A and B are shown apart, each in its own frame.
Chain A
Amino acid sequence: MSAHSAHAEAHGHAPGAPVLVTHHHVSTVAILTKVFLTLVILTIITVGVSQVDFGSANMVIAMLVAAVKAALVMTFFMHLRYDTAINNIFILSSFAFLALLFVFTLTDFSTRKAVNPIHAKRAPIAEPDTHYLWKTPRTKEHKHE
């Protein structure tokens, strides 16, 4: 009984008692340290993998390792694991919307070959005349418009 009331007081449940320890989740030093060391190891893996040529798989591996690191930061350093459902929904939905942007931006590269074999080779890209674009003042044609 007394143990219970001491617990309640420590967690600020007793009205009027000073709140020394939050009633929210407190991470242990051990878990924070483990997460940090894991992040360091994953950074070493990122650098190591980049020194080996896996072709187009290099990008996939680099982004997968980065995603694991980001998930660790969000789950433990940012406390998402112990946060409310609505806060999780808010931030995770931003990544879902980002996925939409990525998918439709990059669909061209991934499907051009499949959709139109004639244009399987990359379409020629016009060489921009950088001098014209950046250094020439606006021409008369623009003023007439």
Chain B
Amino acid sequence: MHTPQEAGGHGAGHDAHHHGVVVPAPPGFVPHVVAHHFDTAEAEFSADKLAMWLFLATEVLLFGGLFAAYFYYHGVYPETFKVGGHQLNWRLGALNTLILLFSSYTMAMGVRAAQLSQKALMQKMLGITVLCGLGFLVVKYFEYAAKVSHGLVPARWFSDHDHVMAGVENGHLFFNFYWTMTAIHGLHVLIGMLLILWVMKGGAKGRFYGGYYLPVDLVGLYWHLVDLIWIFLFPLLYLVP
């Protein structure tokens, strides 16, 4: 049990750590103060990074469930999926793949710049990454608009005005997967962009340098996972094997 005396004694004994360890920063940067419940910056780094990987593991399982369902329905209705895939513009899908791969590259370069306290380069790389994310969503918007105009939308709203799916069973099934998977993925792109902008806000204030680049690193991991999911979505939706 915690008596007031014990609690007071505990606080007094760790007075030096009450405001957290400071990681000395080069000129022009704001020194990072380690969260008070960590003894060292390294303890904070490894704990937060482990938590991020655990979160990414749940993301793998979130999309993994969708992929398992995709493979099952693909097995039941191979023709539906093949014809459905042909309705998508694989050139736009390939373009978006290249955009995301490039954005992952610039993200990795941004993390590298943060590790080396190269503030201007980091901001530039993160900025390019956000613009790539925006480009991805713009391409996606035009694709979505084309699908809506043809009535190739999920579930009960599936109307298929031009009867492109008339020759196969349950044509809406492919578009259930297309919309659900790309919408959840697109939401991740949007969230990733907002997170990068948030990191850039801190970056502009000089919060990230060699001694503390944790937020840049963790947001980078998130962004790479979004890229990783798309690496599987592209062939499964646009080039349906």
Residues of chain A touching chain B, judged by Cβ–Cβ distance below 8 Å, are: 12, 16-22, 24, 26-27, 29, 32-33, 35-36, 39-40, 43, 46-47, 50, 58-59, 61-63, 65-66, 69-70, 73-74, 76-78, 83-84, 86-87, 90-91, 93-95, 97-98, 101-102, 105-106, 108-109, 122, 125, 127-128, 130, 134-135
Cβ of B94 within 8 Å of any chain A Cβ, yes or no, is: yes
A18–chain B nearest beta-carbon distance, Å: 4
A11–chain B nearest beta-carbon distance, Å: 9
How extensive is the interface on chain B, given as a class? Answer: 35 or more
Bitwise, B76-110 to A at CB < 8 A (1) or not (0) is 10000000000000100010011001101101110
A-B pairs, top 10 by smallest CB distance, nearest first, are A19-B211, A94-B57, A58-B241, A50-B239, A59-B241, A134-B156, A36-B105, A98-B64, A62-B235, A94-B60
B123–chain A nearest beta-carbon distance, Å: 17
Q: A29-B109, A43-B97, A134-B155 are in contact. Are A73 and B61 (CB under 8 A)?
A: no
* Contacting residue for A77 out of B65, B94, B107, B170, CB 8 A: B107
Contact A93 B75 (CB under 8 A): no
- Interchain CA distance A73-B105 in the complex, whole Å: 9
* Contacting residue for B102 out of A21, A36, A66, A86, CB 8 A: A36
Q: A43-B97, A101-B64 are in contact. Are A77 and B108 (CB under 8 A)?
A: yes
- Main SS at interface, chain A: helix
Q: A16-B24, A106-B71 are in contact. Are A22 and B213 (CB under 8 A)?
A: yes
Residues of A within 8 A of B105 (CB): 32-33, 35-36, 77
Residues of B within 8 A of A63 (CB): 232, 235
B154–chain A nearest beta-carbon distance, Å: 11
- Interchain CA distance A59-B159 in the complex, whole Å: 29
* Contacting residue for B104 out of A47, A73, A105, A135, CB 8 A: A73
For residue B60, which residue of chain A has the nearest CB?
A94
- Interchain CA distance A59-B49 in the complex, whole Å: 34
Contact B224 A22 (CB under 8 A): no
Q: A20-B209, A21-B115, A32-B105 are in contact. Are A70 and B241 (CB under 8 A)?
A: no
* Contacting residue for A19 out of B46, B170, B209, CB 8 A: B209
Residues of chain B touching chain A, judged by Cβ–Cβ distance below 8 Å, are: 23-27, 29, 45-46, 49-50, 53-54, 56-58, 60-61, 64-65, 67-69, 71-72, 75-76, 90, 94, 97-98, 101-102, 104-105, 107-109, 112, 115-117, 155-156, 169-170, 172, 209-213, 220-221, 224-225, 227-228, 231-232, 234-236, 239, 241
- Interchain CA distance A130-B155 in the complex, whole Å: 9
Contact B241 A84 (CB under 8 A): no
- Interchain CA distance A78-B60 in the complex, whole Å: 14
Cβ contacts A to B, 10 pairs, < 8 Å: A12-B210, A18-B211, A19-B23, A19-B25, A20-B116, A27-B112, A43-B97, A65-B235, A73-B231, A77-B104
B119–chain A nearest beta-carbon distance, Å: 11
For residue B155, which residue of chain A has the nearest CB?
A134
A111–chain B nearest beta-carbon distance, Å: 12
Contact A43 B56 (CB under 8 A): no
Residues of B within 8 A of A135 (CB): 156
- Interchain CA distance A32-B209 in the complex, whole Å: 20
* Contacting residue for B49 out of A32, A61, A87, A93, CB 8 A: A87
Residues of B within 8 A of A94 (CB): 56-58, 60-61, 64
- Interchain CA distance A87-B116 in the complex, whole Å: 23
Residues of A within 8 A of B211 (CB): 12, 18-19, 22
- Interchain CA distance A33-B112 in the complex, whole Å: 12
